[in-house]
Structure 1
């Protein structure tokens, strides 16, 4: 809440003054090292900064200060810094205690530790690994944290600052995360979300007396902070209130120190996201921005100003009274040595995998030797793509999926090329371009501009096309613009106009036609007794499509083929498996005699699953669960064997890096990574089949499900 702002950019730490103007002034560079400084945290009195420094395979905890209380960190005379000794050489997410005596941090295994600043005494507070968010109580006697305890879902816990048993506060199947302790010491606030996209802000009252107070009495209580935080742990989770619920995901909120005002990211029906706020009692729910800001790193001052990073990581601020947002510009000089920067990036990649890869044995790789083998090569790469290629070779030593390095991306100014929806006959020698086939509902498939197999496209917007001039050349930059085609059809010249569409839209149309073709094949092979559906991705949209198709295609049919071939994965396997594995348990009968089985919509008829080597990740977990539950036969080929849960992070220059930290195993202990799921009936796809338009896997699935229907 002072006028000083700590900033990080290009791996260095800066400090500036927040003034009434539209920017941050007096910015000074506080660090100049080959390491990457980050996670700055102010001491309660504003005279010291704690931060991390990622370098040489370590993440040090650094303390800077004390600064002059009058001039702070922008006086030109930078305070001294010292590196605090931490367990295992790794410290992340430093957090000061309100009394300024301690710094909490997460160690190499993300266990909670506390260091006493004066004595450098370091101790473990909670032995649970994998902690994610930490907050001190205002009296510095308690720590709240969140950690995953049900797959990816977190719960909120409280532990004494001196260590001991930790207690679950949220006790809810939602993903409950980011605990925050307001300065009144009477409540604990946290975010909560569902996999379906509901995001809530909740608060739990720590004593029965405060929970039972009226709204007006609570208002008075918040003006009377407690000297010592008291927690009545009996039925604590039942004293939880929901302040608001919006559409959202794993997004973090900002809070005023007194916990009276909260700001957060929420989504609209078009998928855009903006900044919203709500008050401590659930009142005043209000949208603060309206330009799809995608806000992150949100904080609120005691005066009610909300600071956040908007679109493009631009620092912005807006008053909680709804005033127009303003951009906070700042400028400072920085420099670096390319070889040192590349070495830092490499060391960070190496350490992130050492500390987080799902297999502590690193798939048998000697990880220290791997670092020695590749570090010098990586540090000498002046081009980022060369650097990324060296890192990819290091990743190859792990023989694992869901690894990767990419970017940093640059904005492409190239105009997109339009698509009209024809498949070109490449055997044609000219003149023009001969149409082999047309994708339904594409521009070339619409009634007023329809092309037919055998048509010769001679020119597009006056530009002749043929074997020596690709048809896509005159379509460059023409998405959504009307183009004129000259076509020879059955010896006559025909003039047509149409509006090209983007490639992703054509891809969707081609997919729709592929699904429709498969349905026609299954209907023909089974006398229309078997339905067919394809699951293209393991995301929420695909779940909704699956539920609709299961009803529409399964209605009045005797069986079903479910196809996940070519599915790249996601996270919704359990939602689909629940619909396919629930047994009937009751039947309701209406007066007229109509019967309805419960559970509603659950599939009870014969079903076959189609898989192939292009099933990845969650599209492999799904057939593994299918097989374990005995839902039905599996036809096709072994899945790819890329089954690790992963997350993405950014290096200091914006390069993206993937860190897979969660393995998946059968109940017998078989690691699905590099193993995949085996079909019950193996049918290989051969190149000749594809060229002939045959689908032997689909044909076999139709035969198998018909045998089940007929009791064979």
Structure 2
């Protein structure tokens, strides 16, 4: 019978399945990827394979490697297990006897190879990208006895099952974003590939052409195909007949998806939540299998973080610079600046299941201000609020704020400690009154985060930068007493990073207002466009009128004023004419002898004196006159550059200066602004520290904390150029701390939930009861015993939003000690026992115009051909290994000696340099792209150009330039964004395609050419497919909406809520959030969840595409040829030259 389960019941089942006592609940694990054998279920838990009787009970462990062993598949006889494992680093396919034994490696893909099934002949079928030129997952079978590999003749297939008649039912494509109820172009759908029949046409067909949702994981039993599908909104087990008809639903779970099903002998095992369920097809009964683990749950033991600096998220100096407070892995630590001179590193927090995001000293030097997600309410996930801690680690944390609605950023205390400035994810700026316990919103941006918070010395004013509606930042100052905001800069230039001058009369800032293009004109190849490098200038604004720039050159009027001021400031206690000869002009009392301190009082009196001496005068109140303030700007005498991170000390300005380009280094620069320098007017910016990460001063301005990578240094604020850091390092070598995984996992789960809430573009969370989702999935976290299992729970939760661009990845996962990477010769091989080696089947060919991308066996002078046989590798017999790539492990980039038996019978030795498997993937892709370009050139007689974009990043812009400009004058253009992985450069490409030719130049010789330079005058078409994603979809939609041409191919992925991937968890894992939705001028959301519908639908069918056909490309060529025939875009003929002769000068 079928059981309809509510979400609440499912949670209960996930937490404590039927038949499991409370006593045994502590021995329960988190069970994934069940495989059903004749009488046992093999599944993954704790990253290992386990075996348990079908009836349940105590499972026994089959594997023990520190890495992951997953996705087990039983052989037909039930005696052999195939599974994926990371024994040597990459995820490869292994087999082992069910009874136990040493696993045998079966693949050397260097990528993600996953077992799928065993075919009727007993060969193991697995999925891999290894053999496809265009990156696509395909199915490959391997004869376990002979190690021979055979490709299933389908261009795309991620899983499959064979029916008794030899037909293959398979899922064609899949996508990596975690989402439920997905109906986009890459939805998992079932196809049928008929068995080969003599004389019959053979092509795969979609099994359910009218259903846009997901159907996957095919299984065969008694003339019916079983699979999981989301037809009722939840993934459940269904079946159909061989032709896709007679649909039947077998499970009716609600709210939690069935996953990873495995069928054998009329039973289906599948994952539901954290458990394995078993469905009896004959009766229709389904129930959780009662499983416990005989395990020590090793990965849940207390764990030491050996290098916390790898997880450091903030570091700040104490007011006097003697200590540094750091946050790492969500905890707070205080360490002396000179640990080697004494002192200890203090673990200021021991918060179980709490993350401290940021920590800095309050002005008293004894208290820390921290951001924490600690909850002080039972059964509440908590919000990120400000708390205070004792810097010495004593006492309990004290809550400062209680009104957070969304993620808060840094808190900056005022110098007197009475106020805390902070901002949040909703672009709001607040000031919290510490004594009153009240936060007041003082500003809000409509564009992005507010930044650059810095207090004046008198704690009366806060300077900051806020983004104006035109996206330019403006520097503002908020005054506490008047509650007034003074706008220091206009929105005509981007101004940011404010810093108060030492005397409080000026606010320094950086502004992008230097516009000197490094490109002189649009002439030349690639139609160069202006590029404004070094736009930043250092500026200052006078806070009141009448202030002369401290950087101005002196003149006679200034000199006279300065002399007058000196005379007025002379002391009047003793007149010069009343002084005795040689007597100083001082008060007599100041020179009176003090009595000597009594024994035992000296230290105390010295301390008291020191305290008195340390008491600083109250800062001079800062005056601000807002009238005409934007007219009181001055330049700081520093050449323009690429600047950021400005701050000021008593005697210097500091800032970060970066070079140009992606690999440019950043330096800490300084400009002296002390009285002597200002008097001499000798200004020179100096590079203090190179290869800089970040820098900030101590509160007293005497020291600067420098971060380079994961290392911290404290330097004197007066350090000279190229400061010596050898003795300035903060000693972090002994810094370690312990953490409890389960507590951390629970915190990360809640934080993933909270960050998704705070980052997701829709505050209503697509109508989902988001708090309800936290409650729904939280019980599963208690079952988790590895970081990978936590990711599985998080993935199930975030998928409830039914949005794309949500990925769960990374984190502190356990890995094995080995990282042995295969290498490639840029070819595929067949094991040839008779020939004594591995025969070359195919060598991947790249564009001959780019010799740097040529494969290892294709190098000039090799003369190696398809059909030649490699008999030895580094003097080792090739056939001694199951796969030639086993002999190439760890050989990428190294010289390797191979012996080749050529087709002529001659045997020669060659020295080759293998490439990495990733580079081989690029090489295979190169061949695909090069072949498309050749096809277009040959079919069109070079009248149509071809440009393929693999993604939409800066490197792809280089590919655009490499391939578009040589064909810009052709009559047709195919822009191919199939398989495009996305990025953010669609506007660059579209703006170039929108260029129009509006006149022609013609000299006395040569052909005419047009303005705008490199405008494409011909007809265009864009190709997309189900693997066109993100910005690859945006450019397709833009191409059509802007009228550039037709879009051809198949419906795209459907991921158009963009993301920043900045919401990291404490262990550097992430559950990305979809942050920026896209809608059109008509007021409708675009693309998300559905994809871009092509104007002309053309599908590259799996079998014919495998055989080399590219139906979509051919259709694009035919389409353009038709347009060119109807409307040839030839250059307008040169008109007759004007006759400007007159009278007798006319030529006769």
Shorter chain as denominator, the TM-score bin is 0.7 to 0.9
Q: Which residue of 2 aligns with 1:69?
A: none
Label 1:89 to 1:685 Cα distance change in 2 as closer, same or farther (>3 A): closer
Q: Which residue of 2 aligns with 1:70?
A: none
Report which structure shows greater RCO (CA 8 Å, sep ≥6). 2
Distance 2:1126 2:634 in 1: 55
Q: Which residue of 2 aligns with 1:554?
A: 968
Cα shift at 1:108: 5.7
Cα shift at 1:247: 6.5
Distance 2:633 2:1048 in 1: 48
1:585-596 alignment, distance < 5 Å: 585=998, 587=1000, 590=1003, 595-596=1008-1009
Distance 2:771 2:990 in 1: 42
For residue 509 of structure 2, the aligned residue among 189, 195, 211 is 189
CA shift digits 1:579-629 (9 cap, x unpaired)? 111334555555668755333223232221111111111111112221221
Does residue 381 in structure 1 map to residue 784 in structure 2?
Answer: yes
For residue 1078 of structure 2, the aligned residue among 664, 668, 672 is 664
Cα shift at 1:506: 2.9
Q: Which residue of 1 aligns with 2:843?
A: 438
Label 1:422 to 1:15 Cα distance change in 2 as closer, same or farther (>3 A): same
Secondary structure of 2:384's aligned partner = strand
Q: Which residue of 2 aligns with 1:68?
A: none
For residue 630 of structure 1, the aligned residue among 1043, 1050, 1074 is 1043
Label 1:144 to 1:110 Cα distance change in 2 as closer, same or farther (>3 A): same
Greater alpha carbon shift after TM alignment, 522-531 vs 29-38: 29-38
Distance 2:911 2:736 in 1: 55
Q: Which residue of 1 aligns with 2:150?
A: none
Greater alpha carbon shift after TM alignment, 27-36 vs 693-702: 27-36
Greater alpha carbon shift after TM alignment, 627-636 vs 229-238: 229-238
Answer yes or no: is the 8 Å Cα contact 2:428–2:443 preserved in 1.
Answer: yes
Label 1:455 to 1:196 Cα distance change in 2 as closer, same or farther (>3 A): farther
Q: Which residue of 1 aligns with 2:344?
A: 26
Distance 1:235 1:590 in 2: 51
Answer yes or no: is the 8 Å Cα contact 1:23–1:329 preserved in 2.
Answer: no
1:81-480 alignment, distance < 5 Å: 81-88=398-405, 91-107=408-424, 109-128=426-445, 130-138=448-456, 139-147=458-466, 155-158=473-476, 160-161=478-479, 167=487, 169=489, 171=491, 178-183=497-502, 184-190=504-510, 201-207=536-542, 214-216=551-553, 227-231=622-626, 235=630, 243=638, 253=645, 255-258=647-650, 260-264=652-656, 266-267=658-659, 271=663, 273-279=665-671, 284-285=684-685, 287-288=687-688, 293=691, 295-301=692-698, 305-311=703-709, 313-317=710-714, 320-321=719-720, 322-326=722-726, 327-330=729-732, 331=734, 334-408=737-811, 414-425=819-830, 431-440=836-845, 441-466=854-879, 469-480=882-893
Greater alpha carbon shift after TM alignment, 678-687 vs 9-18: 9-18
Count of residue pairs the alignment pairs up: 691
Does residue 40 in structure 1 map to residue 359 in structure 2?
Answer: yes
Label 1:588 to 1:201 Cα distance change in 2 as closer, same or farther (>3 A): same
Secondary structure of 1:397's aligned partner = helix
Label 1:532 to 1:345 Cα distance change in 2 as closer, same or farther (>3 A): same
Distance 1:24 1:376 in 2: 47
Distance 2:1037 2:631 in 1: 39
Secondary structure of 2:324's aligned partner = strand
Label 1:211 to 1:432 Cα distance change in 2 as closer, same or farther (>3 A): farther
For residue 1093 of structure 2, the aligned residue among 653, 672, 678 is 678
Distance 1:545 1:500 in 2: 25
Label 1:265 to 1:136 Cα distance change in 2 as closer, same or farther (>3 A): closer
Secondary structure of 1:253's aligned partner = strand
TM-score (norm 1): 0.86
Label 1:185 to 1:8 Cα distance change in 2 as closer, same or farther (>3 A): farther
Answer yes or no: is the 8 Å Cα contact 1:135–1:180 preserved in 2.
Answer: no
Label 1:676 to 1:59 Cα distance change in 2 as closer, same or farther (>3 A): same
Distance 1:670 1:323 in 2: 54
Q: Which residue of 1 aligns with 2:280?
A: none
Greater alpha carbon shift after TM alignment, 180-189 vs 348-357: 180-189
Secondary structure of 1:472's aligned partner = helix
Q: Which residue of 1 aligns with 2:211?
A: none
Label 1:44 to 1:588 Cα distance change in 2 as closer, same or farther (>3 A): farther
Distance 1:23 1:667 in 2: 65
TM-score (norm 2): 0.55
Answer yes or no: is the 8 Å Cα contact 1:459–1:465 preserved in 2.
Answer: yes
Answer yes or no: is the 8 Å Cα contact 1:137–1:185 preserved in 2.
Answer: no
Label 1:379 to 1:102 Cα distance change in 2 as closer, same or farther (>3 A): farther
Q: Which residue of 2 aligns with 1:567?
A: 980
Label 1:643 to 1:253 Cα distance change in 2 as closer, same or farther (>3 A): same
Label 1:694 to 1:664 Cα distance change in 2 as closer, same or farther (>3 A): same
Q: Which residue of 1 aligns with 2:20?
A: none
CA shift digits 1:469-508 (9 cap, x unpaired)? 1111110111222222232323443332211122333333
Q: Which has the larger radius of gyration?
A: 2
Label 1:583 to 1:392 Cα distance change in 2 as closer, same or farther (>3 A): same
Distance 1:495 1:625 in 2: 54
Q: Which residue of 2 aligns with 1:521?
A: 935
Answer yes or no: is the 8 Å Cα contact 1:154–1:177 preserved in 2.
Answer: no
Label 1:323 to 1:548 Cα distance change in 2 as closer, same or farther (>3 A): same
Cα shift at 1:318: 5.2
Distance 1:695 1:211 in 2: 72
Label 1:332 to 1:527 Cα distance change in 2 as closer, same or farther (>3 A): closer
Distance 2:862 2:342 in 1: 57
Unaligned runs of 5+ in 1: 66-72
Answer yes or no: is the 8 Å Cα contact 2:488–2:629 preserved in 1.
Answer: no
Label 1:662 to 1:104 Cα distance change in 2 as closer, same or farther (>3 A): same
Answer yes or no: is the 8 Å Cα contact 1:419–1:502 preserved in 2.
Answer: yes
